[in-house]
Structure 1
Amino acid sequence: MQREQISVFDIFKIGIGPSSSHTLGPWRAAQQFTASLKQRNVLEQVIQVKVLLYGSLAKTGKGHGTDVAIVLGLSGADPVTFDVNAIDTTIAAIKNEQALSLSGERLISFNYNDDMVFLFFESLPFHPNAVTFQAFLNDGKAVSETYYSIGGGFVVKEGDSGKEKDQVDLPFPIEKASELLHWCLSTGLKVSEIVLENELAWRREEETRKGIMQHYIVMKDCIYRGCHTAGFLPGGLNVARRASALNKRLIKDRTYNDYASWVTAIRAGGNSFNYILDWVSCFALAVNEENASFGRVVTAPTNGAAGVIPAVLQYYITFCDGFAEEQITRFIACASEIGSIFKKGATISAAMGGCQAEIGVSSAMAAAALTECLGGSQRQVLMAAEIAMEHHLGLTCDPIGGLVQIPCIERNTMGAIKAITASQLALQSNPDKAKVSLDAVVNTMWETALDMNSKYKETSDGGLATNIPISLPEC
């Protein structure tokens, strides 16, 4: 049986908010569909495209910007490079002109309201996040393909297994935490070192390290930008951004002019418990406020949970003297392997497993990475991940108004704090006496996901989403 091989750059992806499964995934699906039309040599024959959204993509699609992402993807824009400041004007032009340039090459008519169909009460069996693209050709024929956004920006085309990426010979194949631990103990390598050895099967080490640092740059730029942007989040809930005001209160009258001097100014404020706690919350708020505003973020492993790992990494950089390229590389590499184990053994999709699959997984990833970077053993690294997830089990996904704002943004602060606590517990514990293994928690999380009522899986049909009275403007 083909084993799923996941790179650090599969778990961490650069994209645009607010959701990896509802924004980045559908965006990528649209790009794959236009690529398929080209491969079939029919792109120049297309006269109309219709998009059918099912299940969770339909129910929370407007709040997550699914429609915007798909239209941009069909137009040939790429989420890694597209100017986030041009999103509103680009979409407005398509709506006003009732036309889009398919893959940037073929101008077709496109009625935004009629050609984008939200099937709120229909779901496809493979996954709740389904989208069907229909291209009608000038000879009367049509091409139809269905894609599933399975979490973290991963996309599977109907009929594929999702494991079609070319297989490589990994020196350390890993499906479960027990296998990771086996390789660590038999070689003496740290988790991050195992990851970097496996990455050599795909590319040279210097390319991997450069790519990891590029992802870090996006993370730190996102934190810095979020800590210096005030105002209200889009979408109609009128949620005020808090990171900027919190940054001003905490930094007081200390001056700085860039990210590096900002870190120095933060350190100068001391290291009291409350002070550090406030900053960790500020870092997480900043990222997810950017995410909610269609800003550029890194899936970690998802957009909805994008603030946890950057916040804990920023904590490590600022308060634990981790401001070094080697340490940052180790942190991100270690975190990626824990995310891979959860994806292989359970899910990183809230539409499949609730918020335990997003905030829970990101907290486990951050806890493991911090533990390794603070000198923990391989067993303590896995223990930290287990502790973090154990205390997120059963967490539901119930976004108010279908927006990745309430309770999503604050949940990132909680996930970051839990990660730091889990790391400290693991560092002060003997893993040999632990009663629960990471694999046991992964299995439990998946069983919990299967048992969870579908209304708590990113549908806005339950929980806070139905108990908080709101009145959103018509989309």
Structure 2
Amino acid sequence: MQPYSVLDLFKVGLGPSSSHTLGPMRAAERFVQHLKEQGKLDTVVQIRADLYGSLALTGVGHGTDKAVVLGLCGLDAATVDPEVADHTFLQVKTDERLPLPGGPVLRFTMGECVRFFTDVFLPEHPNGMRFTAEDEYGIVLLSETWYSVGGGAIANELAKNSAKRDLLTEFPDQRPYPFFNATELLHQAQANNLTIADITLANEVGLGTSEGDVMGWADHINEAMVSCMNRGMDLEGPLPGGIQVQRRAARMARSLRQQAAEDQLGVIDWVSVYALAVNEENAAGGRVVTAPTNGSAGVIPAVLAYIHNHMPRLTADDERRFLLTAAAIGWLYKRNASISAAEMGCQGEIGVASSMAAAGLAEVMGGTAAQAEHAAEIAMEHHLGMTCDPIGGLVQVPCIERNAFGAVKAIQAARIALREPGDHCVSLDEVIETMRQTGEDMASKYKETAQGGLAVNVVVC
């Protein structure tokens, strides 16, 4: 997909982490593809995957070892059944045999072939990995270094600056309403009397996707989010990982259905349930939509469910416009800062998701592009500095609850923005740059390494 397209912000994949699960799975699959393209697949007798930095420090809790194996087996994260994924990983571990798609079956011992280098950070990004394939004589047939740069996106060189470099040099800009920051986006909206969703749709069509396909994309993403949420609202019991975190969404939903209708805050409770349901599924390794990451996958679906279930005057087309607006805002963060918690902390995940949802909600509630921009700014402003310190290296505590709060903040940010005249003193561009600087200043122990914060102060049995 072209780097100008905003649709790539949402990807269907497996939990629990877009950067630690989906990204490595895609990179491993790409490595095997390159072996095949170079005619070297049949001569491979050994493959090693070396994980570095954040991928190593929280890799087991985030399922990175499993993701690498699944990718090497050629499984597609967007389509594989989670139960098939679990069975495949268990079989490789048990049999110590790795079937390469269209190639040989290799001897594969997890401890030898998937190695964690917790004290080594590769220079371009904290989420680095290196794949190496050797022949029977130990000669290296192919070695590739990849980076998982956030939201399931991968890059194999200069990861930190790859998006900007691609945008500026490698692709012609065919968008009728080009923009690279929020100021330019607002200018296009005001000069052409368009909403952010209008601009997003027109730009995607300009890049070669038909209007029908864009709307089909929005419906597909919406359906995947709703499916995940519904599964999460049906299931109970402990989440995997060993720290005995219990699913709560189903029992909370049951309680809400029984409570008195006059509870004026009941809607907010439902929004929390929607978000918890999605991220409990994510923590269990289920199929979720990166929005813009797996760790923040519950925020946008929760606000979508708020629109669908609690705002009856809004339509399916409003839900599509919500997603188009949210995607445009997320693209600004991805291009001008990062959506990787390993770079930004949790402000780059929950904060960005809340900002995206706030802008989308403001637009479908009748707000102008300026009010949507203001809503996005408000939501992020109150997530600045949020650390990523998962207990046990699992995407569970505090991650699941943070999605609920991110969704509620998004709703309130939109409501505040719609009651303002638009003369706020902090712009979205300024808050994005502030997030970037804050993330760079943040100590690495607070950026998805499980070396600080709750991860070291909470004793888990």
TM-score bracket, normalised by the shorter chain, equals over 0.9
1:23 aligns with 2:29: no
Could you tell me which of 438, 449, 470 is aligned with 2:439?
A: 449
Contact 1:145 1:158 in 2 (8 A): no
Offset from partner CA, 1:412-444 (integer Å, 9 cap, x none)? 00100100010000000011x211000000111
1:14 aligns with 2:39: no
Unaligned runs of 5+ in 2: none
Offset from partner CA, 1:190-221 (integer Å, 9 cap, x none)? 10110011111131111111111111100001
Give the Å deviation of 1:446: 0.6
Give the Å deviation of 1:106: 2.6
Aligned to 2:414: 423
Q: For residue 90 of structure 1, what is the amino acid of its counterpart?
A: T
Contact 1:76 1:104 in 2 (8 A): no
Aligned to 2:162: 162
Could you tell me which of 243, 247, 250 is aligned with 1:241?
A: 247
Residues 322 and 59 (structure 1), Cα distance of their counterparts in 2 relative to 1, 3 Å cut: farther
Offset from partner CA, 1:256-282 (integer Å, 9 cap, x none)? xxxxxxxxxxxxx75743210110000
Q: For residue 179 of structure 1, what is the amino acid of its counterpart?
A: E
Give the Å deviation of 1:67: 0.5
Aligned to 1:440: 430
Q: For residue 178 of structure 2, what is the amino acid of its counterpart?
A: P
Give the Å deviation of 1:85: 1.4
Looking at structure 2, the residues matched to 281 and 78 of structure 1 have their Cα atoms a distance apart, in angstroms, of 31
1:177 aligns with 2:182: yes
Give the Å deviation of 1:140: 4.3
Looking at structure 1, the residues matched to 343 and 67 of structure 2 have their Cα atoms a distance apart, in angstroms, of 21
Looking at structure 2, the residues matched to 31 and 323 of structure 1 have their Cα atoms a distance apart, in angstroms, of 41
Aligned partner of residue 143 in structure 2, secondary structure: strand
Aligned to 1:256: none
Give the Å deviation of 1:104: 5.0
Could you tell me which of 74, 79, 83 is aligned with 2:77?
A: 79
Contact 2:4 2:173 in 1 (8 A): no
Higher deviation after alignment, 323-332 or 416-425 = 323-332
Q: For residue 149 of structure 1, what is the amino acid of its counterpart?
A: S
1:466 aligns with 2:456: yes
Offset from partner CA, 1:274-302 (integer Å, 9 cap, x none)? 21011000000000000000010000000
Aligned partner of residue 128 in structure 2, secondary structure: strand
Higher deviation after alignment, 160-169 or 294-303 = 160-169
Could you tell me which of 273, 293, 305 is aligned with 2:296?
A: 305
Q: How many positions carry a matched residue from both structures?
A: 452
Looking at structure 1, the residues matched to 349 and 78 of structure 2 have their Cα atoms a distance apart, in angstroms, of 21
Could you tell me which of 167, 174, 188 is aligned with 2:193?
A: 188
Give the Å deviation of 1:5: 2.8
Looking at structure 1, the residues matched to 137 and 215 of structure 2 have their Cα atoms a distance apart, in angstroms, of 50
Residues 334 and 271 (structure 1), Cα distance of their counterparts in 2 relative to 1, 3 Å cut: farther
Contact 1:322 1:328 in 2 (8 A): no
Give the Å deviation of 1:167: 4.3
Q: For residue 118 of structure 1, what is the amino acid of its counterpart?
A: F
Give the Å deviation of 1:307: 0.2
1:224-373 matches, within 5 Å, as: 224-252=230-258, 270=261, 272-321=263-312, 324-373=315-364
Unaligned runs of 5+ in 1: 254-268
Offset from partner CA, 1:136-166 (integer Å, 9 cap, x none)? 0246431110000010011001357634575
Q: TM-score, normalised by structure 2?
A: 0.95
Q: TM-score, normalised by structure 1?
A: 0.92
Contact 1:23 1:64 in 2 (8 A): yes
Residues 104 and 244 (structure 1), Cα distance of their counterparts in 2 relative to 1, 3 Å cut: farther
Contact 2:307 2:319 in 1 (8 A): no
Looking at structure 1, the residues matched to 202 and 266 of structure 2 have their Cα atoms a distance apart, in angstroms, of 38
Offset from partner CA, 1:283-324 (integer Å, 9 cap, x none)? 000000000000100000000000000001110111112663
Contact 1:397 1:458 in 2 (8 A): yes
Aligned to 2:146: 147
Offset from partner CA, 1:198-255 (integer Å, 9 cap, x none)? 11113111111111111110000111111111111000010000000011111239xx
Q: For residue 218 of structure 1, what is the amino acid of its counterpart?
A: A
Contact 1:18 1:64 in 2 (8 A): yes
Higher deviation after alignment, 6-15 or 24-33 = 6-15
C-alpha RMSD of matched pairs (Å) = 1.5
Higher deviation after alignment, 26-35 or 99-108 = 99-108
Contact 1:316 1:322 in 2 (8 A): no
Aligned partner of residue 172 in structure 1, secondary structure: coil
Q: For residue 61 of structure 1, what is the amino acid of its counterpart?
A: G
1:74-153 matches, within 5 Å, as: 74-138=72-136, 140-142=138-140, 143-153=142-152
